[in-house]
Amino acid sequence: MENCIFCKIINKEVPSTIVYEDEKVIAFNDVNPAAPIHILVVPKKHVEKVLDLKDEEMEIVAHIYKVINKIAKDQGFAEKGFRVITNCGKDSGQEVMHLHFHILAGKTLGPKIVG
């Protein structure tokens, strides 16, 4: 998708620190981390948000969670714990309109999910 920053990262037109990649997804460090570890897991297919996922695209979500578990184990924060967040649409504050899953870890996260 033209003018989509995450499509540009997927296509390597914009640099990022990639922590995992396969044929379906890419995961890279968030440029403005909200925790010591802040990784974005992004499907390579441009889907705007979770609400737009078609039934036949739902398998990508299962795959993304497999990748999240793999990253958590490989990077050594699986046992300590982590948080996964997906924003969807205006009220959530979604800024990048390409579906993505935030992994937050590396410290005891606050009890508030909603600020």
- The answer to whether 90 touches 28, Cβ cutoff 8 Å, is no
Which one of 7, 18, 78, 84 is in contact with Zn ion (CB under 5 A)?
Answer: 7
Instruction: Pick the closer one to Zn ion by CB: 37 or 42.
Output: 42
Minimum Å gap between C-beta 93 and Zn ion is 18
Is 102 considered catalytic here?
A: no
Neighbouring residues of 107: CB distance < 8 A, sequence distance ≥ 6: 35, 36
Which of 46, 98, 100, 102 does the annotation list as catalytic?
100
Q: What's the CA gap between 76 and 78, in Å, rounded?
A: 6
Minimum Å gap between C-beta 46 and Zn ion is 4
Minimum Å gap between C-beta 49 and Zn ion is 11
Instruction: Pick the closer one to ligand 5GP by CB: 31 or 58.
Output: 31
Catalytic residues: 100
